[in-house]
Structure 1
C-alpha cells in the first residue's frame, strides 16, 4: 500500500458488522481486510457492497494512496506488456466508480491515452459503443470519445474497474468492442479480483473463443462467501435500520435551516483553457503534461483560503474523480503531507455518488454516515438523490473535517447545488470552512459529418402504410438475416451475451383461431380506441401547440407507437383539417434514441413542435429512457403522449385504463409490416438511422389497414365523449404517479425475480412477452374478461400458466424468469424457464 495511507491503530475490521449479522465473509490474503470493508446496498439486485479503502469513492482517504494505487497498477501493466506494446495501449475506465482509478492506471502507463465510460450524453459527440451493467443502480454506459478512432488501433486495450467480481460487465465490453475494433491483447485491471473458480474458467474459455489474450492485474485476490438467503436477509436488515433511524434534528437539513444559500467561498482554479476535465471524451499524454504543470498553482490558490484548517477534505463529484484527486494530492504536498493531522494539515479525498447504501455509525461498518441531496448536474435520467458518505463525523468527533473543498464541473454549478438542502448546504452543516472550486465542463468540437443525413423511408417501398401516413426515420435492413429462435435470443439477452436490439425474433404467424380473435377484439374495442385517440390528440392540440402557423410534429416510437401516431394524424385531419407531419423513430432501452433521427428532425422542423407518441406505458422504462436521451438535445420536449397510461407514467394520455389494444395482438402485420427496430454496431454507423425490416412476404396476412380503418370509422360516434373527456382532463391533476413502476418492483420481489426488466405489466406488454420472449407465467387480474381472451389463448398454445391474483393494478402482467435455460420445455416442447 502507498506509504501516505493514514496509519491508525486498527481496532475492528470495517466489515465486522455485516459479517456478524449476515454471515458474509472474505476469503483470500491478509491484505484484503486492509483494502476492503463491507456495507449493505439499498438495491434489490445485490445485498452487500465491497467498500474500497483506496478508491476514494465512499471512504475519505489520503489522495496519495488513491492516486498511488492506480498508478502502481499501471506500472505493473507496463511491465506485463513491455515498453513497446505499452506505448500503443489505450486505457478504458468504468463510470462512475473507476473513472479516477482508470485515469491513474493510465498515468502509470505514461504514454497511454485514457477514456472512461459515461452516463452523460453530450450533444455533437457520437457514441462509438455502450454496454449494460446489470447489477448496478444506474446501468447504462456510453463511450463518447472526441476522436472516434481512439479505440480503433491494434494496440492492447486496458480495461479498469474497481473490482472484478463475476467479470460479466468487462467481458461484455470486450465482446462488443472486439466486434468493431478487433485486437489480440486485452488487460483487465482491478483493485481486487473476487471471482469464483467458475468465473475464472469462464474468462479462459472466453479468451479462447475470442482468439485474443486476456490478462488480469489486481492488488489482491480473494472471494466473498455469501449465504444463500443473503439478499432477502440484507433487505430486511436495511429496512429495519432505516425504519429505526431518527428523524433529522432542527438544523439538520436545508428546510429546517431556512431558505438561505450555503456559505461557500468560491475559489478560482485558473484551469487551463481547453483542457478536458477528465476522460469522458478522451485524455491524452499531452493533456496530462498540461495538467501536471498547472496543479501547483491550483493547490496554492486553495491553500490561501483554508485559514489554518488541519483536517481537510477535497470532495469530487460522481464521474469527476481524477481532477479532484490530483488537486487534493497537490494540496497535500503544498501543505507538507503529514502522516496525521497532529503533525500538520492533512488532506483527504472522496467523491459523491449515485449509489444508495445503508449508513450505520459503527466502527465495524464501512459506511458510517450518509449525506443525501438532490442531483445538481442536470443528469440525463432526471432529478434524483445523490450521496456523500463518511463526510459527516457522526458520533466520532475525531473524524470531523475542519475544511471541505467541493469540486464540481460547470454543468453542476447550477441552482440545485446552492439551494437549501443542496450539496453545499448539507456540507456546511459539518465543517467550519467550505470552499467551492469549479472546473469548466469540457465540450468537444462538433464532429464533422462525413455524409449527408439520410431521408425518411415511406410506403409502399417501405411499409404497407401510405406515404403520407408516416415517414420512417430508419434504414432498410430487409436483406439482412437478423432473426433468431426465441429461446436462443432469451438466453443470450439474459446471459449478457447480446442486447435485445441486436437481433429479431422470428415473426409470429397467428393461427386462424387467433386471427378470428383479433378481428373480434377489434370490432369490440374500436370505439374505445377511437375515443382514446381523440382524447389524446385533442389534448396535444390544446396543450402542446404553439401559435399559428406552427403545428405539432408527431414522432412515434417505432413500432408500437406508430399505429397510434397514424391514428392521431387521421383524427387531426378529420376533426380539424390539420395535416400533421408524422415520423417514426427508434428508441432502444439501455441505448437511447436514434441521435441521427433527432438531428434530421432538428434540421427539418422546430424541435419545440415535436410531440413524441407511444402506444401505452407499462412500468415507464421508455418514458425514462426518452427523458435521459433528450437531456442533451435542447429544444425537444421529453414528455410522451400515449393512447393508454395504465402505469401512471405520463401526463398526456387518452385513458389510464389497462385494456386490450388490438395493435398489441400482432407484430409486424398490424404495424405496416415493419419489424421491431435493430441497433447493431456492424450495421448502424454514426450517421445512419437505426434499422428495421420490411416483411413484404407477409402482405397476405397484413391487418394494418384494417385496424386503422376500423378505428377511424368510429371517430364521429365518439366525438361528444371525446369533448367531455378533454374537458375533464383539463381540470384534473394528471401528474405522473409512477404507480406502475412501484407495482413492478413489488411483483419483482414477491416472485423472486429481482429484475424489473423481466416484469412486463399491462395487456400490451404481456402480449409482447408471449409473442417474442420466453415467458414463465402470466398474472391475471381476478375476474378479467374478454380483454384477456387472446392472452389466455397464446398462453395455452405456449404452455404458460395463467395465475389469477387479487389487487393487481394491471389487467395482467407477464413474467420472464431470470434463471432461463434452453433445456427446460413446456407442454408444447418450447423452451421455458427452469
Structure 2
C-alpha cells in the first residue's frame, strides 16, 4: 500500500463524491491534469490576486479544510517514510528537516516523524528576543512577507547530512530554490530533498530545477504524493476577477443562533458569502460581551517546545508521545456529553501540537467524528456549494501581534455545510503568546466560534522560550560627526554600524526588479545617490525659503506637545534618516525655548524587519525607556508606524507612539501638523541628512550583536546642505510672533480629537485597487514619499491633487526628468501620490505567488 492509499483508506468512502473543485472548473475552465488521485487531494477556490485567480486547497493539509487527524498526519508521515527509503538509513540518520510557515509547519513536522530521528525546524514570522536568526527569506507577495530561521541550536544547519525542505505544494519552486541557494552559501551540503503534497510544476519549472542543481553542484530531489499541472484557459485572470467581484457583492445571509430560534432556513448559513464589509463577510455582528470558553488544563510537559519554531528533537518527540494520551483525556473529559462531531482548531503556525492532540482524541474512539484544521491569514472567497472547497469563512482580528501586527485572520469551513451540519464542540488550541485580550474580545476568534457551535473549549500551550544562546556582546557607543556624518557631534549620535568602505549601491532598475521579484529585500542594498541638477537645487532652495517658518512652527508645536504629554526631559530617537533632521530641529527648539540639552540619537527601522534591537538595548542601558520618544519626518500610509508598534511589544518600557513633523496619513497622535506640505528635506537624499545613506540590514554585513549599517558619503561634502537646512529653519525660531503661534497651535492640539483614523491607509488600498497594482507597498502617498519614489525607485506615474501649487514644483521637475506622467485627480487626500512601476511584479513571480529569497 503506498502513502496515498494510506491517506484514502483513513478518509473512508462515505464522503461526498462531488469534487470540491467542480464549481471553479465549471466557471473558469480550470482543470487538474496528471495523477488520477489529484481530485482526492485537492479542491479549488477563488481569491482576489493579480497573479492567480484560483487557489489549490488541500484536503489533507489541515489548514483550510477540516479533515481527519489521521489522514493529515499520515500524509506527512508517509512522505517522511518515502524520503527515508530514498536516502537510505545512513543518510536518513544525518538528515535535518525544514518546514515553511505558516502552511507547512505541521506537515514538515509529520515528515520529520516519518523520516525517523530527524531534528525539525520551521520558519517563523515571530521574532523572539535573545534568539539570533541564522537566516530568513522574503515572500514579497505573501500575506506576510518576512520569514525567520530561529533555531535554539545555532549549529542546526552546520552538518553535512541531507536537508529536507517541506512545503504544502510545489508550483514553480522559486521559494524553495532560493532558500537552498542562500543556505548552501553558508551551510553547503551535497544533497537536498524537496517534499510537497503535490508537485504541480510545468516542464519549464522542472528544467529550471535540473539546471539549478547542476549549477549548485549538489543533488536536489523531489518527493510528492501526486504530480500534475493546472490547465488555465486564456483570460482566466479577468474571468476570476469578475467572478470574485460578483460573489463579494452578494448580500450577507441573516444571522443565526446555534440551536436557537430565528435560525437560517435550510440550506443557508452565516458566513457563506462575502457581503458588505460592514458585516464582516456576512457573519453576525460581534456580541456585546465576550464569549467565555471552557479552559482545559492540558498539563503540557514543562520545557517541551510547542512546535518547531526553535527546533524539535527526537527527544522532544519522545516526551510528547508519552504525554499525549493524558492530555487528550483531559480534553475529552472537558467536552460535553452528547458531543458527536468535534473540531480541534489550531492557530496559524501552531499546527503540529493541535494535530497530535486531535489524533490522540480520535484514537480514543469516544466521539463519532474528530476533525482538525487551523486558522490562517490568507483571505479566500467562500461559496456555499458542495463543489467548492471553501464553504464558509469566519473573520476575526489578529490576536497574535508578535507575528505580523494587526489585520484580519480567518477560519474556513467551521460553520458547517449547506445542510446545516456543524460541529457540536470546537477546541481552540493556542500558545500562551497568542492568549491575548484580542482572542477573548467581542468579535475575536472565540466569540466568532461561539456563533457556530454550542461549546467552545480553549487549550493553551506554553510558548517555548529558548535559552539565550550567547551572552550579548558589549555594544559600541554612538557614532558622531565629523567622523560619521556632517552634523555637529552634539546634534545626534548614530546607533549604526559604519559600512562606508562597502560597495552597496545597485542600479535603480536592477534593484527594483530584485525587490519586487522577491530576490532581495530593499534594505539589502542602497540606491545610487541622486545628484541634483542646478535647476533642482534652485527649487530646493526656493522651497526652503518659502517653508522655513512653516517648518519652524511645526517643529515647535510637536516639541511642545512632547514636553507636555510625554516627558519633561525626553530622549529623542529619530528614525534614520528622514527623521534625523527633524530630531535635530526638535533638540534645537528645546534648547532655544526651554534651555534643555535633550539627547538625540538616530536608529534604523526596516519595514518587515522592525527597529534595530541592539539599538534598543543600548538605549535601555543608558536611558529610561519611558523617556524615549521616537521621531520621524512624516507619515504616509502608516507602515512604519505599525512596524514600530509591533516591534516594541517585545521591548517593554518603550512608548510606541511616534512623533512626526507632519501626519497627513492620520496615523499618530503626536505631530506638528496634519497638512501634506513640502518638507524640503524630502527633496534630497544624504546631502540633507548628514551625508548618511539609507540603513542596511544584511546577514553577511550585520551580525547578531551589530547595529544596522549605513554609509557616510564623505565624498559628497561639496554638495552637503545638512547643517544649512537646520540652521535656516532654526533661525526662524526667533521670528516675531512664532512663539505665540506655537503656543496657540499646541493648545489647539491638546484640546483636539487626535485619534488616528488611518485615512491614509484606506486611501492607499483604494488607489492600489483602482490602478490595478494590488500591492500597497507600491503606492507611496504624500509629497515626501512621492519624492523618494522619483529619486530611488522605478516610478510609474504620479497622482497630483488637482490645483496643487508650488509644493509640487520639484516633483514635476523630477517626473519630467525621468519621463514619468503626472496625472491630476480629484478627491486625493494627499497633495500627491507616487506609484512604483509594477512591471517587475508581473514578470518576475511565478504562479504560486511565492517569489522569495533567503537573506
Same fold (TM over 0.5): yes
Query: Structure 1 residues 821 and 513, CA, compared in 2 at 3 Å: closer, same or farther?
Result: farther
2:308 is matched with 279
Check if 1:345 corresponds to 2:374: no
1:826 is matched with none
2:224 is matched with 218
- Give the 3-state SS of the residue equivalent to 2:315 in structure 1: helix
Query: Structure 1 residues 555 and 642, CA, compared in 2 at 3 Å: closer, same or farther?
Result: same
Query: Structure 1 residues 620 and 196, CA, compared in 2 at 3 Å: closer, same or farther?
Result: farther
- Give the 3-state SS of the residue equivalent to 2:539 in structure 1: helix
1:333-376 per-residue CA deviation (whole Å, 9 max, x = no partner) reads 1227xxxxxxx633211112222222221101111122223333
2:505 is matched with 483
For 2:238 and 2:605, how far apart are their aligned partners in 1? 34
For 2:59 and 2:343, how far apart are their aligned partners in 1? 15
2:414 is matched with 391
1:538-591 per-residue CA deviation (whole Å, 9 max, x = no partner) reads 11112212xx6xx22111111111111111111111111121111111111222
Match of 1:802 among 806, 815, 822: 822
For 1:614 and 1:203, how far apart are their aligned partners in 2? 45
Give, in angstroms, the shift of residue 87 of structure 1: 2.2
Check if 1:176 corresponds to 2:182: yes
- Give the 3-state SS of the residue equivalent to 1:222 in structure 2: strand
Match of 1:321 among 344, 351, 367: 351
1:18-63 per-residue CA deviation (whole Å, 9 max, x = no partner) reads 2222333222222111111112225566532211100001111111
For 1:368 and 1:657, how far apart are their aligned partners in 2? 46
Check if 1:470 corresponds to 2:488: no
For 1:274 and 1:384, how far apart are their aligned partners in 2? 31
| Bigger relative CO (Cα 8 Å, ≥ 6 apart) | 2
1:493-539 per-residue CA deviation (whole Å, 9 max, x = no partner) reads 22222222111122111222222221111111111111111121111
1:331 is matched with 361
Match of 1:743 among 763, 787, 792: 763
Query: Structure 1 residues 432 and 753, CA, compared in 2 at 3 Å: closer, same or farther?
Result: closer
Match of 2:123 among 111, 117, 124: 117
2:166 is matched with 160
Query: Structure 1 residues 36 and 748, CA, compared in 2 at 3 Å: closer, same or farther?
Result: same
**8 Å contact from structure 1 (residues 380, 632) kept in 2:** no
- Give the 3-state SS of the residue equivalent to 1:466 in structure 2: coil
For 1:315 and 1:783, how far apart are their aligned partners in 2? 54
Query: Structure 1 residues 247 and 537, CA, compared in 2 at 3 Å: closer, same or farther?
Result: farther
For 2:766 and 2:204, how far apart are their aligned partners in 1? 32
Give, in angstroms, the shift of residue 804 of structure 1: 2.4
Bigger CA drift: 97-106 or 613-622?
613-622
Query: Structure 1 residues 770 and 246, CA, compared in 2 at 3 Å: closer, same or farther?
Result: closer
For 1:394 and 1:462, how far apart are their aligned partners in 2? 65
- Give the 3-state SS of the residue equivalent to 1:636 in structure 2: coil
- Give the 3-state SS of the residue equivalent to 2:164 in structure 1: strand
For 1:777 and 1:569, how far apart are their aligned partners in 2? 37
Match of 2:132 among 115, 126, 141: 126
1:828 is matched with none
Give, in angstroms, the shift of residue 255 of structure 1: 6.2
1:787 is matched with 807
2:535 is matched with 513
Instruction: Structure 1: state its 5+ residue gaps.
Output: 337-343, 824-834
Give, in angstroms, the shift of residue 481 of structure 1: 1.2
For 1:58 and 1:805, how far apart are their aligned partners in 2? 41
Query: Structure 1 residues 272 and 185, CA, compared in 2 at 3 Å: closer, same or farther?
Result: same
Bigger CA drift: 472-481 or 75-84?
75-84
For 1:211 and 1:505, how far apart are their aligned partners in 2? 33
For 1:414 and 1:174, how far apart are their aligned partners in 2? 36
Alignment RMSD: 2.3
1:589-631 per-residue CA deviation (whole Å, 9 max, x = no partner) reads 2222211111111221222221111111122221222222222
For 1:352 and 1:379, how far apart are their aligned partners in 2? 16
Give, in angstroms, the shift of residue 721 of structure 1: 2.0
For 2:771 and 2:439, how far apart are their aligned partners in 1? 40
2:280 is matched with none
2:689 is matched with 671
Check if 1:361 corresponds to 2:390: no
1:99 is matched with 105
1:728 is matched with 748
Check if 1:454 corresponds to 2:476: yes
Instruction: Structure 2: state its 5+ residue gaps.
Output: 259-282, 844-855
**8 Å contact from structure 2 (residues 64, 412) kept in 1:** yes
Match of 1:26 among 20, 32, 36: 32
Give, in angstroms, the shift of residue 430 of structure 1: 2.9
For 2:50 and 2:749, how far apart are their aligned partners in 1? 36
2:851 is matched with none
Give, in angstroms, the shift of residue 288 of structure 1: 0.7
1:430-456 per-residue CA deviation (whole Å, 9 max, x = no partner) reads 334433222111111233225212221
Query: Structure 1 residues 283 and 362, CA, compared in 2 at 3 Å: closer, same or farther?
Result: same
Bigger CA drift: 794-803 or 270-279?
794-803
2:341 is matched with 311
- Give the 3-state SS of the residue equivalent to 1:30 in structure 2: coil
1:155-203 per-residue CA deviation (whole Å, 9 max, x = no partner) reads 3222211112232322333333333333333222211122233333333
1:441 is matched with 463
Query: Structure 1 residues 471 and 31, CA, compared in 2 at 3 Å: closer, same or farther?
Result: same
Query: TM-score under structure 1 normalisation?
Result: 0.93
Match of 1:812 among 828, 832, 835: 832
Query: What does residue range 240-319 of structure 1 map to in structure 2 within 5 Å?
Result: 240-246=246-252, 248-249=254-255, 251=257, 258-259=288-289, 261-262=291-292, 264-306=293-335, 307-319=337-349
Give, in angstroms, the shift of residue 232 of structure 1: 4.6
For 1:755 and 1:225, how far apart are their aligned partners in 2? 26
**8 Å contact from structure 2 (residues 536, 810) kept in 1:** yes
Give, in angstroms, the shift of residue 469 of structure 1: 0.8
